[in-house]
Structure 1
């Protein structure tokens, strides 16, 4: 149709609208164009040359826009659809983006009511949980002070979609007590109990007590460790039920004290890890002195020391510390303090010789150090996991290749471990957002296990030349 016919139609529409407006006491309009949708095009169409774009560049940008649409969530897809022309209509909009008619319809409604690039308003009563709160809950569940990793290598699950094996973790407290601990640590985060329970990772489990019952009878039997003649022996006792209750009541103060020490030490170790940075770190040694877990800020390293020295004593600890410090000086030259965290084994850790060596630590190694001991029954830790990896890998190797693959000497076992771990990987947390990953710290490739050899001759020489004269002075005072 020509322009004259369009103008006549518009004038007729204006006349009818003014008649309606007069009936409802609304001001008349003089120009019908103010009621018509405005096109995004200017009077003079723009060209690619005015945008300094080639046809190939424009096609690549449009294809990237479609790809962005395909990986976006529902709300973001509706938002992206609002950039297209109203004149296209619903069918052309969803066909170009390869979306849905519902999204196209909602995008047209958003653009006409709110504007371009507007987001749909969530009018539900319960607002979606913030991503930062979800991440805080995940990190809380998987932290060492809330749950511990299993030491049984077969206790793993394969969660979807990656199906990567993840070892199980067990909560130290009940799920209700864990929620109360979270509220105490993060009082400003608003989250309900049921939502907190639902965010628990599938590999974090509650401790399931054995199904048992107590049948109250006049005569009962129980077992207890007793110290007899400087030795602890397991005694099997029989008596009345009241005697059992009195026995439990006598041991209750010791249990409360032990529980308090365990929790306080666990919180202190967690505080050391939290304050750890690129210039300070914590070395966690547990159960066996052959495995070392090193934590430097968000990064961690695993060190395995293999030796033909068979005694578990302070001599080995001192020589092992030299290997640890040499490794750290090479990899992290800016470190100025070491925090040693170990169990309370008196044979090699918690004794006067090791404490005396700690007072000479700065003199021997030119670096400050502190030492913390965990209570007995504290559970498994990273060092146990490192040892489990070494033993599990060795067991599979021997079962696969038979007796011909057996090791005749400890040195041969060390050489096999070095060869097995002769590859580079990049350690990274299981759940870390990409934005934080690129802007904080890029970890350097390293070996999954750093394997070092410590000869018995070296240990004996260091004892005769350094430790024995020092300890003799200690006894003479």
Structure 2
């Protein structure tokens, strides 16, 4: 049987060429030597009393195929939606300078939003912040953060390294990546590490951010408008 590349209509079960095909018709060809009365077991997710549990079911191969057929349309739609969402989110990330999940929490922080509006003025770099659903916002920064933290944790457990301050963590991570660059005969460490001192942050808040934040409509406001002068 020749299969064409599935299109949107295939996943939505409205395709004229494959709408009448069911998984059982395809799979039965693989079970020619199996007795239909043999006992099989499978473990689907079931929703009972608004709770989702992992259940083990025993039955014949026919009952298993019937259950697959019943869930096939829902599975196709879920699979298609999931793939399209991943493609769309990846495309947004390529066109964005920042990506994160948990949009409600970020939008409630009006200070971050007004800083985003001034990003071009502050750094002479255009910025775009893309928000996705919770649990879908993993980006490069998450992987880098996990890498440096796991490296420090392994060194503490295996080598007895003592890291008790921010400075300790910074110097360990910098040396770890500088050593990795030497091992690989390159001048570029895997991760560039920077330490932003508290005094620098306080100066930025005092000299720049405090005046900017005063433009907001009150301490508890969750909205603001940019003043064009």
Aligned partner of residue 193 in structure 2, secondary structure? strand
Separation in 2 of the partners of 1:463 and 1:414?
Answer: 23
Residue in structure 2 matching 1:407, options 160, 163, 184? 163
Aligned partner of residue 150 in structure 2, secondary structure? helix
How many angstroms does 1:361 deviate by? 1.6
Separation in 1 of the partners of 2:91 and 2:194?
Answer: 28
Q: Measured at CA, do residues 412 and 346 of structure 1 come closer, stay the same or move farther in structure 2, by a change above 3 Å?
A: farther
Equivalent residue runs for 1:64-463 within 5 Å: 180=6, 211-212=43-44, 214=46, 220-223=48-51, 263-264=84-85, 266-270=87-91, 273=94, 282=96, 339-344=97-102, 346-347=104-105, 351-378=109-136, 380-402=138-160, 405-422=161-178, 423-424=180-181, 446-463=188-205
Q: Contact 1:262/1:374 (CA < 8 Å) preserved in 2?
A: no
TM-score (structure 1 length as normaliser): 0.28
Structure 2 residue runs without a partner (length 5+): 9-41, 53-76, 219-223, 225-229
Q: Contact 2:101/2:138 (CA < 8 Å) preserved in 1?
A: no
Separation in 2 of the partners of 1:376 and 1:450?
Answer: 28
Separation in 1 of the partners of 2:100 and 2:141?
Answer: 10
Task: Summarize deviations over 1:26-68 as a string: whole Å, max 9, x none.
Answer: xxxxxxxxxxxxxxxxxxxxxxxxxxxxxxxxxxxxxxxxxxx
- For the aligned residues, what is the CA RMSD? 4.0
Separation in 1 of the partners of 2:82 and 2:114?
Answer: 24
Structure 1 residue runs without a partner (length 5+): 1-175, 183-209, 225-255, 277-281, 283-338, 428-443
Q: Contact 1:421/1:447 (CA < 8 Å) preserved in 2?
A: yes
TM-score (structure 2 length as normaliser): 0.53
Separation in 2 of the partners of 1:371 and 1:379?
Answer: 11
Separation in 2 of the partners of 1:181 and 1:456?
Answer: 54
Equivalent residue runs for 1:23-38 within 5 Å: none
How many angstroms does 1:378 deviate by? 1.2
Task: Summarize deviations over 1:234-287 as a string: whole Å, max 9, x none.
Answer: xxxxxxxxxxxxxxxxxxxxxx9xx979955751542653xx7xxxxx5xxxxx
Aligned partner of residue 341 in structure 1, secondary structure? strand
Q: Contact 1:424/1:448 (CA < 8 Å) preserved in 2?
A: yes
Q: Give the equivalent residue in structure 2 for 1:469.
A: 211
Aligned partner of residue 368 in structure 1, secondary structure? coil
Q: Contact 2:99/2:139 (CA < 8 Å) preserved in 1?
A: no
Q: Give the equivalent residue in structure 2 for 1:97.
A: none
Aligned partner of residue 369 in structure 1, secondary structure? coil
Q: Contact 1:262/1:378 (CA < 8 Å) preserved in 2?
A: no
Aligned residues: 155
Q: Which portions of structure 1, spanning 4 or more consecutive aligned residues, are displaced by more than 6 angstroms? A: 259-262
Task: Summarize deviations over 1:173-212 as a string: whole Å, max 9, x none.
Answer: xxx9xx6379xxxxxxxxxxxxxxxxxxxxxxxxxxx933
Q: Contact 1:265/1:374 (CA < 8 Å) preserved in 2?
A: no
Separation in 2 of the partners of 1:395 and 1:406?
Answer: 10
